[in-house]
Each structure stands twice: as structure tokens, then as C-alpha cells.
Amino acid sequence: MHLISVMIPVRNRWRQLGDCLEALAQQKACPQCEVIIVDDGSDDVVPGWLYDSISRHPVPIRLKRQEPLGIAAARNQGASLAIGELILFLDSDSMPTEYCLSKLAACVADNPEDIAFQARILSNLETWVGRMDCLFLTAVQKASLKQDWHTVYVDTAGFAIRREYLKQPGYLFDVGLIRGEDTLLMTSLLRQGRQPRFVPDATIYHNHGAPLHLHLLKHVSIGYRSARADKLARDLVAKEWKGSKLRRNTLRELADNARRQRYGYGALTLILIAYCLKLTGRIAYSLFGLKPGRHQVLNAPVDAVTSAELVARLVQAGERRTSLTATYVNGWSLVNAERDSIFCKSLAEFELCFADGIGVVYTLLLLKGMCLRKVTANDFCALLFQEAANRRLRVALVGAKEGVAQAVASKMRRDIPDLQVLLCSSGYLNTTEEENLVNALREVDAHIVLVGRGQPVQELWVQRCRKLLPNTVFLCVGGLFDYVTGQVRSTPIWVRRIGFEWLHRLVHHPRRYGYMYIYGIPLLLWYVSKHKLARMIRWASS
């Protein structure tokens, strides 16, 4: 068995990846290891020279591809494919020194009680970007270090964890985070009392290729994208990691190192500028950002998820054969949840309820002043089917009139030849037919079942079926199959983006959507006003 599995996510950074693989090839006294590269939906095809480098590499390399679901999903997939006793996470621009893996392996062997290990991260001093990065990394790693050589700092440019840790429920990295997934991982380890051990002899150089002005401006995006992880970390109460003592120690180390280094004060100035830009991004997130977690919109639950996060969670659950149910909430769903307590209760039992309608977005904004991102099955279904094919997941389609699901399967097989659609069924079923369908789903052992039977029928049926099929992922998609087959005219993307998809549907399909919008929109406004007035009365009385 391999001792170390090196996991490297990459997206369009082939040249940096080539340098990283070259550094791995030059390891001295290297233990038995493997390399897993996960391509997170790169725009460019893998260059031929990289394939040649992989074929000649002294270490076995596996190259996997996924749709652009994010670096956290890529790391999770790589970890699930690893066979080594230890999984070492590197970035594509990480450059391990020649004795890095051997020193890491020795530390792992000498400390069997530790579950996680953090390598020493540095940057080259040839550029100002490298100088400021090295100054900051040196300070924060030293300030985070305890007397017993454990640390409260995690950087996935050089972080290792024992594979046995992955046996616990859940995933190592939160796929809902675009950036800052290592922050949340550190928080989780702290809560469990499993601080990583710092390995100073295992050194990795993190090389930034961007020019100085772009690197500084990037901190606005870093602040915005990492704010969600910081908020989740605060919610998990990681006092030891977020305490003021750590911040004071880091500032003290920055000042001491700046005095000792030749370019120290210049690098320190750049770090302060970067921090101000990062703070700007965090302020922007607090004003306009997507707040994590589940929100109550009138009587219906809505989860703040993106399309990529939703697809990642669906395929990950399908791969692990764990139960997961997901459905959509639109303006009509909010109305039905107000009037139908059974439907309202069934929605609360779903693990994921995504906002599939501009009415939900506006309702949450009016009631709580919070921004929510609209997620439509029309937009992510192709991504879901392609990723299901990439991971060889079996799919079943249930919904619409007779023959529509079969037409969807035929179209998807033409577009995605590797897609395995093993069962197609109409959505208009009596009790006996529903029982036969459950037996058929059990026989084909589908990983993911798309259910398009309309609300609330599909939600109630899924909650009954999940007990009979505990290893299956269910996704409610409403009228998606009619859109895919062209029976309902698809709304142009620009109309969706400005929030007038409902008007396009009403104009082109008045019989199908007339009652829902002409009656539903005024009723939704009434419920919003009612809830708003009730909140004002409670506030005034308190």
C-alpha cells in the first residue's frame, strides 16, 4: 500500500502543475506514494507535454476530471480516490523541497497519536509578492505554534491528514465555500481536540505568479469569498483560533521579522495594504453576500446554496450511497406552504431546499433584508448529468407524461454518451404503479433519482420513498422534463437574470401558468404584508 497519496486540484494552471510534478519527481528518500490530480473543469484541454510528463514520472499519477464544482469538491473527490495511509494536499503552484515527503513521513511515524500535519509554507523572495507572502506566512505560522509543536493554522498548500479520518460522516471540505475551506477544516479539528502537528522540516514553497498590483487587488475578492468561511467558523466557536491573543502574536511577529529582513518594512507595508483591501471585500460581503445556512421564508425553509454547491452535494452523496433529498421553493411554493400544513412539514424534512424563483429572493429581501441567489434546475441539470457521467453514477427519471422521461433520457445520452439512465417512468401513477416503481428503482439501484411530478405530490412521494430506498439521492425538479424536451418554451438567459422568467412563462403558456401567477402573486404579496405587519406588532409590543 502507498504510504502517501498526494492530492493536487488544478484549473487551467498546467504550467504550474508541471513544476509541482517536477518537484515531486526530485524527492529524496521518498516513501512509496501516488499522485492524484483532479481537474476542476478547466477551460483548456490537458496539454500533450503534461501527459508525457505523467507517463515518465517515477510516481504513479492518476488524472481525473470533474465539472467546475469548486476546489473543495475537487479535494473531496481526490481524497475519496486516495489509497495511501496519509493524504497530502498541495496546490498546483506548491513546490515541495527535496526532502519534504521523507520528513513528513518520519514525523507521521513518530507521532501515531496525531491525525493531521501541517507543513512549513514559505514563498520565494525574488519578487515583492513573494516577500510579503513569506513575511506573513512566517509570522502567522510562528504565532500559531504551541509549545508541544501543535498548531492552530491550516494551509491546504501543504496540509496532510490520515485517511482514517475520512471514515467519519460528512466530507473533509465544505463544497459551499469558494475560498476559506481550510479555515473551516481547522475549526472542525479544534472542536474535536485534534490540532495538527507542525512539521518545520517538511518545507513547501508556495509560488504566486501574479504581478504585484493584481495580487493586491485580488485581496478584495479573497476578503469577499473567505468571509463566509469566517462566519461559519465563528458560529462553531473556535475561540482558540480566532482569539485576540493570536492576532496580537501575529502582529508582533510581523514587526520583529520586518526589522530583521532587508525588505521587511516594504513587505510589511504591502501586507497592511492587502489587509485593507481584504477588509473591503468582507464589508461588501456583509452588505451583499450570500449568507450561509437555512433561512425561513414565510413558512418555508430555503437553503442558501449555489448551483455548483448543489450539484457537488448531490453527486457526493450519490457516490457515498448516503440518503439526500433536495427540492425547490418558488413563489407558488411559499403560497402552498402557507395554506397546506402537510406540504409545509414535508419541505422541512428535505436536506436541501433551493430558491427556484425570483419571488423567494424578493420575499427574503423584504422580510429580512438578506440576499439570496436564485438556483434553477434548467441551469444546472446539464452540469448534474455530466458530473454523474464522470463519476459513473446511475440515474433514474420519474415524471411528466408518458414518454417524456424517455425523450429526456435519449437527448441526454446523445449529448453525454457515458451517462447511465437506467429507468424512465411517467409521473402520473396510481398507488399500485407507485409500489411497482419503488421495486424497479430498488432493482436498478439508481444513485440519483430526478422526480418531476409537481408540487406537492413529488415531495410527499419522495419522503415516503426515502425510507424504502435509504441509499438513494432524490431531486425534485417539477416541470424540468417538459423544458428539456421543448414542450415548454425555454426562457432566454437574459430574461432569467433580470427576474422576469415568470412573465415569459405567463405570456407563452397562459393556460399552464395563468392561475399560478395571476392568483399566486397577489396572494404572496398578501402573505408577505401579513408577516411584515405581525413582526412590527411584536416589535412594538416588546
Q: What is the DSSP annotation of 193-223?
A: T-PPEEEEEEEEEE---S-HHHHHHHHHHHH
Per DSSP, the residues of 72-107 read HHHHHHHHHH--SSEEEEE-TTEEE-TTHHHHHHHH
Task: Return the CATH number at 197.
Answer: 3.90.550.10
The verdict on 202 and 326 lying in the same domain is no
In a domain, 254, yes or no: no
Burial readout 78-111 (b: 16 or more C-beta within 10 A, e: otherwise): bbbebebbbbbbbbbbbbbbebbbbbbbbbbeee
Given 189, 209, 229, which residue is the final one in a domain?
209
In a domain, 186, yes or no: yes
The verdict on 304 and 175 lying in the same domain is no
Closest CA to 151 of 184, 186, 122: 186
So what's the pLDDT on residue 247? 78
Per DSSP, the residues of 276-294 read HHHHHHHHHHHHHS---SE
Res. 100: pLDDT tops 90 = yes
Cα 536 versus chain centre, distance: 37
Is the alpha carbon torsion for 528, 530, 533, 539 positive or negative?
negative
Rounded CA-CA distance 167/123 in Å is 34
Length of the chain: 542
Given 209, 244, 274, which residue is the final one in a domain?
209
So what's the pLDDT on residue 241? 47
The verdict on 346 and 440 lying in the same domain is yes
Q: Are 266 and 131 in contact (CB under 8 A)?
A: yes
| Tens-place pLDDT, residues 328-385 | 999 999 999 999 999 999 999 999 999 998 889 889 888 887 888 889 888 899 999 9
What's the whole-number mean pLDDT along residues 58-65?
93
What's the whole-number mean pLDDT along residues 51-61?
91
Lowest mean pLDDT among 23-27, 105-109, 495-499: 495-499
Residue 152 burial (CB count, 10 A): 22
The verdict on 190 and 305 lying in the same domain is no
The verdict on 16 and 144 lying in the same domain is yes
The verdict on 202 and 299 lying in the same domain is no
What's the whole-number mean pLDDT along residues 285-305?
86
SS3 482: helix
In a domain, 529, yes or no: no
- pLDDT-derived band of residue 536, with 50, 70 and 90 as boundaries? confident
| Tens-place pLDDT, residues 372-421 | 888 988 889 999 999 999 999 999 999 889 999 999 999 999 999 999 99
The verdict on 203 and 298 lying in the same domain is no
Res. 2: pLDDT tops 70 = no
Res. 261: pLDDT tops 90 = no
Contacts of residue 353, Cβ cutoff 8 Å, sequence gap at least 6: 294, 300, 301, 302, 303, 326, 327, 328, 329, 347
In a domain, 456, yes or no: yes
Give, as one character, the DSSP assignment of residue 516.
I
Domain count, the chain: 2
**pTM as predicted:** 0.87
Please, how many CA atoms are within 13 Å of residue 183, restricted to the half-sphere of its CB? Answer: 22
SS3 50: helix
The verdict on 199 and 306 lying in the same domain is no
The verdict on 151 and 47 lying in the same domain is yes
The verdict on 339 and 201 lying in the same domain is no
Residue 20 burial (CB count, 10 A): 25
What's the whole-number mean pLDDT along residues 231-248?
60
The verdict on 334 and 461 lying in the same domain is yes
So what's the pLDDT on residue 506? 81
Indicate the average pLDDT of the chain.
Answer: 89
In a domain, 272, yes or no: no
Amino acid letter, 502: W
Lowest mean pLDDT among 32-46, 71-85, 285-299: 285-299
So what's the pLDDT on residue 358? 87
Is the alpha carbon torsion for 251, 254, 258, 264 positive or negative?
negative
Full residue range of the structural domain in which residue 487 is found: 294-497
- Which ranges of 236-325 would DSSP assign to H, the alpha helix? 239-242, 244-260, 264-288, 307-320
The verdict on 24 and 135 lying in the same domain is yes
Cα 453 versus chain centre, distance: 28
So what's the pLDDT on residue 236? 56
Give, as one character, the DSSP assignment of residue 179.
S
Q: Are 346 and 459 in contact (CB under 8 A)?
A: yes
In terms of C-beta density within 10 A (0-12 exposed, 13-18 middle, 19 or more buried), how is residue 424 classed?
Answer: buried
In a domain, 152, yes or no: yes
Task: Return the CATH number at 415.
Answer: 3.40.50
Cα distances (Å, whole numbers) of residue 217 to 131, 264, 281, 533 = 17, 21, 10, 44
What's the whole-number mean pLDDT along residues 25-40?
92
In a domain, 532, yes or no: no
In terms of C-beta density within 10 A (0-12 exposed, 13-18 middle, 19 or more buried), how is residue 43 classed?
Answer: exposed
Res. 121: pLDDT tops 60 = yes
So what's the pLDDT on residue 233? 67
Rounded CA-CA distance 439/445 in Å is 10
Q: Are 490 and 379 in contact (CB under 8 A)?
A: no
Given 187, 209, 231, which residue is the final one in a domain?
209
So what's the pLDDT on residue 244? 59
In a domain, 80, yes or no: yes
So what's the pLDDT on residue 238? 47
- pLDDT-derived band of residue 101, with 50, 70 and 90 as boundaries? very high
- pLDDT-derived band of residue 293, with 50, 70 and 90 as boundaries? confident
Res. 517: pLDDT tops 90 = no
